[in-house]
């Protein structure tokens, strides 16, 4: 007795079904505004945008009240007469502990305004406390889309203990390829749903006491005192 051959389209349908299910879930979650908005920019009004105050949710999963930037607004459509500067980095860039008026970006803006009075000077501070260059690498493509005349990076001192660093409480491993994939997936609501569910399950079985009140965020981020070579 001859067995019936499975038609080729069967395997195609088998492959497409999970993709369609994930697509429907993603559209549904976006429609009902599930979770946190992790898009890079937030529209303040018809003319201005700022760095999304919740964008740090991409990098902080185990930290309550994750940090924000200084919320410097800039034009959605860049003026022809504008000189636009983006500054990226950690707590020093953000101006800790004298933010926002004590940040070095304010001095850069003031100096540029003095030297180029005929220009519209935009100095946008994107500094976020307790981040490292993984965050900068993630933010940079959309920063470049905003047509900057100058980009300043002030970073390097949070590489181990900053968000997603190998010795950080937010570490997800030492593979840069895996971390880049993780950051790519955080932009999808379906992944956010899976991550939230996994976090709740982990908390049920966790007996750690995370009472670190009175310490800085950077101190809370350090899970390991020694770094293995």
Cα-trace Rg, the chain: 22
Contact at 8 Å (CB) between 76 and 48? Answer: yes
Token code pair at residue 108: 């850069």
Beta bridge partners of 28: none
pTM over 0.75: yes
Identify the pLDDT of residue 202: 79
**Bond into 99 cis (ω within 30):** no
Say what the pLDDT of residue 114 is. 97
From residue 142, give the alpha-carbon distance in Å to each of 137, 148, 167.
10, 11, 28
Q: pLDDT tens digit string along 194-206?
A: 998 988 887 787 6
pLDDT at 158: 85
How do strand 82-89 and strand 41-43 relate by DSSP bridges? unpaired
Q: Which residues of the chain have pLDDT under 50?
A: none
């Amino acid at each position: 007795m001859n067995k019936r051959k499975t038609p080729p389209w069967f395997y195609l349908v088998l492959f497409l079904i999970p993709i369609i299910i994930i697509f429907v879930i993603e559209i549904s979650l976006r429609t009902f505004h599930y979770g946190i908005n992790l898009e890079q920019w937030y529209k303040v009004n018809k003319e201005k945008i700022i760095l999304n105050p919740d964008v740090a949710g991409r990098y902080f999963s185990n930290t309550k009240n994750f940090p924000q930037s200084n919320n410097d607004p800039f034009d959605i459509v860049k003026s022809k007469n504008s000189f636009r500067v983006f500054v990226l980095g950690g707590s020093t860039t953000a101006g800790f502990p004298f933010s926002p008026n004590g940040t070095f970006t304010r001095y850069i803006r003031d100096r540029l305004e003095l030297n180029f009075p005929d220009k519209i000077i935009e100095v946008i501070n994107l500094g976020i406390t307790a981040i490292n260059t993984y965050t900068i690498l993630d933010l940079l493509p959309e920063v470049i889309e905003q047509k900057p005349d100058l980009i300043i990076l002030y970073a390097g001192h949070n590489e181990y203990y900053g968000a997603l660093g190998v010795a950080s409480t937010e570490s997800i491993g030492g593979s840069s390829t895996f971390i880049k994939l993780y950051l790519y997936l955080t932009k999808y609501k379906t992944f956010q749903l899976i991550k939230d569910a996994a976090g709740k399950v982990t908390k049920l079985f966790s007996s750690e006491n995370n009472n670190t009140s009175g310490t800085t965020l950077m101190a809370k981020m350090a899970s390991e005192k020694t770094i293995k070579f």
